Chain A
């Protein structure tokens, strides 16, 4: 493989790197009970939510930052992070696109997602998150007709406090882990989605996350509840402007899936990964978990991870209901100095539960990537079934690919299969394709795309296109 093309990709600048200069309504850096009270007051939250935050904060103080992931980064000074920043004029939030700050719209233009156009053409409701406050929501009416609630988390706290109180922290408790506790204490906004019983959500729901102001930790909180027999497909995608400051991101996503309900959660993550020397880039410490509460429930995670300097993320499914199904499809790319420790947890509790894990890791340049997964079958989980496949592709001799699958089985009727392989792009395959007239770069691109195909197939169409484009940006040259 030619090193010239490798160099070309190394030197490729982050395409979505720009910075919108908007005055943020910021809290001073640092974390204390006062800051939490400030955030809560700013958002006019009820007392129970403030109590929840403070409880989480006090628990967080007793925790130590986890060091077991196979990632390296300098100690984070949590007192040097700004925990709240909102776009200006939060008092008169825009009611339509016309009211949206034109600079924001410009940002979306640069991103290639003109809000109205895209929404109109694709029929997607976009709850675009810019920094921490939701600024525009579309297609609310259509959703309202179906009875679906899809709004920012802050709105949900104001308008549907009973639902939020019932489900907040029910899947990821504030005691779960260091970053989940931090999130529970300081989360500023996020998305809330509730699908009533028997309703198939009429459109795919999508949120674009953006990180903007410097030194602003982003603490999203997403809660999705699918009542009995409901169905929703939820899409999350992100890009971030280029900054040299490491930015901390500790999001929590909770999914509750009742009897016969199905939630499909897809992510394309393309935050700033840092430059070729590992300078800058997002620290992405995310806790994502879904609970199949009722029988025949199904939760499916699909993720395409190409960004972030550090990724620490294990979307999980708790299979409580009998016959419930959990799925995890992942493509993760680490290039330059990126590090990723990612995988999934499938916890089988109910009878005849099944889970599928397909993880495709691509490591290039000096990227380090680990698959870390847990499949656990509890004593009562008769007839549990799991299939796991995790493959790694290595490009270049200074990258790393590691696999840490944990399998814990306490029931003899379980059937668990795990397989993993690691290899580089086969020279035979490249040779064959070149012999059919393809350039080396096209050949490798084709092979890499084929390698990821099983996962891309799970993505909704418009996301699949974006995912392939992202993969091309991150890798196309590196392998050519």
Chain B
């Protein structure tokens, strides 16, 4: 049994290769030097990671995949299904590992051509304290998962994360790198689940590297139980004309912070982020994003909607940066928030940082409750009030859900969202 320790005292796993060990040690040293963020750090002012900073943890155990969770989360439509328990690949439960045009390895065993991408992911220089969780993930992940897409994949690739720690608060550090070669197209479904008694603090990171013209449709389904905590970071690098589309459904966890950073490094690159955040009970959900336009002619789109019930607290912070030479850049950002209950709270901050003049940028944010008029209209058509409200709430979420775009995926997740929304509305009226 491991002794519980604070996050920065945890020791890294023995790396499978010396070069990897050195990078992980460097990342750990940096985190130790800067410490974890507090409420005083601008990026964390609404989401103090106090429990992370002050708690003690054991390294996440390595149990087998929980059958009940597994059955409820399997995606039949997926061509490749990779099951990770606390960040470690369970080969026995996974399938499609030998699919053509896709290689699945640990970080140490990854193809040598990917070495520069991996090294960049592991030694990113943006190392302010607000990025300490990313540094901690780099330092502490065990093996990691590298997906190298060399040819387009017809069926979705499903990465299923199961968080499972029953005895004591445990830290897991799932690390996934998804590299898509020039011109290839792939759909990646990343799903996070845990059981109702789970005590995991999951600090996950996903690195995306898209070659020229590559296309990645990334679906993030965060369905963790209320007892699980999650810090989730996505770092995406886009080469010329690459397209990265993220549909993120933040549905659970007691404390969850999601940060998506997209670096548009090649002309005509395009990033789209559609997010839905459902807060219930006491949950705390934080959605951060930063789109960094480094070259001309790139486009970014973002729409994040949140529906907050119970005593939940939602946070949105979207930042778009147009660097000095990023002329002809185009961005639009929208954040809409629906408060269902008296005790719910939302803090939103859509940011623009613009250093180029020939650009188009807009953002909008709204906070409110359902308008009385549409409710009245539906009631005048014979619907009772709860039904009318449920319909309108679902319609509010629909703007995000319609971007799922894949029938099989939609068929899987849509009923889950409807059920969750119904439960949230019941909670409000109860």
Contact = CB atoms under 8 A, between A and B. Distances in A.
Interface string B301-314: 00000000000000
Highest count of chain A CB atoms <10 Å: which of B42, B354, B361: B354
Interface in A417-455: 417-424
B348 A407 contact: yes
Nearest to A403: B352
B412 interface: no
Contacts, number: 111
A247 B149 CA distance: 60
A421 B360 CA distance: 8
Interface string B333-350: 000010111101111111
Nearest to A420: B363
A421 B353 contact: no
A395 B358 CA distance: 9
A410 B341 CA distance: 10
A403 B350 contact: yes
B359 A423 contact: yes
B324 interface: yes
B362 A419 contact: yes
A398 B349 CA distance: 25
Contact of A419 (B345, B359, B364): B364
B360 A423 contact: yes
A394 B352 CA distance: 13
A416 B351 contact: no
A418 B363 CA distance: 8
A409 B365 CA distance: 12
A401 interface: yes
A478 to B, nearest CB: 12
Contacts of B369: 412-413
A394 B358 CA distance: 8
A408 interface: yes
Nearest to A374: B349
A420 B347 contact: no
A241 interface: no
A404 B367 CA distance: 17
A413 B348 CA distance: 16
B358 A397 contact: yes
A407 B346 contact: yes
Nearest to B368: A415
B346 to A, nearest CB: 5
A68 interface: yes
A409 B351 CA distance: 17
B346 A409 contact: yes
A397 B362 contact: no
Contacts of B342: 379, 411-412
A423 B356 CA distance: 10
A403 B351 CA distance: 5
Summarize A's interface: helix, strand, loop or mixed.
strand
A307 B239 CA distance: 42
Contacts of B364: 417-420
Contacts of B268: none
Highest count of chain B CB atoms <10 Å: which of A398, A420, A422, A424: A422
A194 to B, nearest CB: 38
Contacts of B366: 415-418
A47 B355 CA distance: 52
A397 B367 contact: no
A394 B367 contact: no
A402 B361 contact: no
Contacts of B363: 403, 418-421
A416 B367 contact: yes
Nearest to A410: B345
B337 to A, nearest CB: 7
Interface in B353-402: 353-369
Interface in A366-420: 377, 379, 392, 394-420
Contacts of A395: 357
Interface string B145-167: 00000000000000000000000
Nearest to A369: B354
Contacts of A415: 366-368
A113 to B, nearest CB: 36
Nearest to A407: B348
Highest count of chain B CB atoms <10 Å: which of A406, A407, A414, A415: A407
Contact of A424 (B324, B347, B358): B358
A412 B393 CA distance: 14
Highest count of chain B CB atoms <10 Å: which of A396, A397, A399, A413: A397
Contacts of A403: 350-352, 363
Contacts of B324: 397-398
Nearest to A70: B353
Contacts of A411: 339, 342
A371 to B, nearest CB: 9
A68 B42 contact: yes
B46 to A, nearest CB: 8
A416 B347 contact: no
A412 B361 CA distance: 29
A56 B361 CA distance: 43
A420 B367 contact: no
B365 A396 contact: no
Contacts of A414: 339, 367-368
Contacts of B346: 407-409
B327 interface: yes
Highest count of chain A CB atoms <10 Å: which of B341, B357, B363, B368: B357
B349 A405 contact: yes
Nearest to B338: A412
Interface of A: 68, 377, 379, 392, 394-424
Interface of B: 42, 324, 327, 337, 339-342, 344-369
6 contacts: A399-B357, A406-B349, A407-B347, A412-B340, A412-B344, A418-B363
The 7 closest A-B pairs by CB, nearest first: A412-B339, A394-B357, A416-B367, A422-B361, A418-B365, A403-B352, A421-B362
Given A392-B352, A397-B324, A417-B366, 7 more contacts: A377-B367, A379-B342, A392-B354, A395-B357, A397-B357, A406-B347, A407-B347
